[in-house]
Amino acid sequence: METVSENVCFDGVQGVYTHRSEVCACDMTFGLYLPPQAKSGPVPVLWYLSGLTCTHENAMTKSAAQGFAADAGLALVFPDTSPRGADVADDDAYDLGKGAGFYVNATQDPWTPHFRMWDYVSQELPELLGKEFAVDLDRQAITGHSMGGHGALTIAMAHPNRFASVSAFAPIANPSQSDWGRKQLSAYLGDDDAAWAKHDATRQMEAVGFDGPILIDQGGSDQFLDLLKPEALAHAMTTRRQNSVFRMQKGYDHSYFFVSTFIPDHIAFHADALGL
């Protein structure tokens, strides 16, 4: 692992690190904010999964999350959204290939050799963090925006008892029924709809639910509202009587102005679930 940068931030450290990923078969970069409490011992972890076209940097620099994390004593992890490198397959479209890993393990060519973001986020990167940094992996929560909200919800529901809580900002909530989903899931996983099920938050909510609290914020003026299909997830949570809060925020769009407005609520929500 190599240190790209480390900056003091709210008396903690905002770092950027690069390492060789065996899972993705390429170098991967991630951001990690360690609050000042990490100087005294391991701190709980909040994962932030980003959306289409993003790298580790977008949320790290635009979400304004570090100050609230410092107050709560939470580490923030900002993974990349896909494998990178000259040998990594790509597509001319912004919503497939680099920057659009969709948090799945690809089973179809040309994506199979590198596009294993599910295993990277849920297995390899946590193991690396536990070895190298003062983080407590027995106390984790997860959030994300758009494609990252999809990833946060599906990963949380697939790993019972790992995450104390999950939240999402404008998640791609029902990708099996959306052009933001059907295109990517068929490209990465093939045309068998059954293989898509665990990567659809609405279907997973119907099938297994989540063993902790959920918070969803959705902008009412989101330009991608028809692609996100939040009503499907809201209906599934209500039908399941899931411990959840769904908020439609009037006037807000899909941007980081929306995310930064409500990130304090989400960090407080996760801090409460983690007993901080």
Give the domain range for residue 233.
2-274
Q: pLDDT digits over 210-227, tens only?
A: 999 999 999 999 999 999
Q: For 2-12, what is the mean pLDDT?
A: 98
**What is the band of 161 on the pLDDT scale with cuts at 50, 70, 90?**
very high
**The pLDDT of residue 218:** 98
pLDDT mean over 63-69: 97
Which tokens is 192 given? 């068998």
Model pLDDT for residues 70-82, shown as the tens digit of each residue: 999 999 999 999 9
Number of domains comprising the chain: 1
Q: 135: phi > 0 → left, psi -120 to 50 → alpha, else beta; which?
A: beta
Model confidence at 245, in pLDDT bands (50, 70, 90)?
very high
| Sheet with 244-249, side-by-side order of all strands | 2-9, 12-21, 26-34, 75-79, 43-49, 135-144, 163-169, 214-219, 244-249
Question: Mean per-residue pLDDT for 130-155?
Answer: 98
Entry pTM:
0.97
Residue 101 has a pLDDT of 97
CATH number, residue 98: 3.40.50.1820
Mean pLDDT of the chain: 97
Q: Provide the pLDDT for residue 132.
A: 97
pLDDT tens by residue, 29-47: 999 999 999 999 999 999 9
If pLDDT is split at 50, 70 and 90, which confidence band does 167 have?
A: very high
For residue 54, the tally of other CB atoms under 10 A from its CB is 23
List the one residue out of 266, 255, 188, 261 whose CA is nearest residue 54: 255
Q: What is the mean pLDDT of residues 162-176?
A: 98
How confident is the model over 81-113, as pLDDT tens digits? Answer: 999 999 999 999 999 999 999 999 999 999 999
Q: How confident is the model at residue 156 (pLDDT cuts 50, 70, 90)?
A: very high
pLDDT band at 127; cut points 50, 70, 90: very high
**Mean pLDDT, to the nearest integer, of 38-64?**
97
- Residues in CB range of 159: below 8 A, 6 or more apart: 122
Catalytic sites, residue numbers: 146, 222, 254
CA distances to 7, 65, 242 from 229, in Å: 38, 26, 18
Per-residue confidence band for 22, with pLDDT thresholds at 50, 70 and 90: very high
pLDDT of residue 205: 98
Contacts of 55 (CB under 8 A, 6+ apart): 29, 80, 81, 99
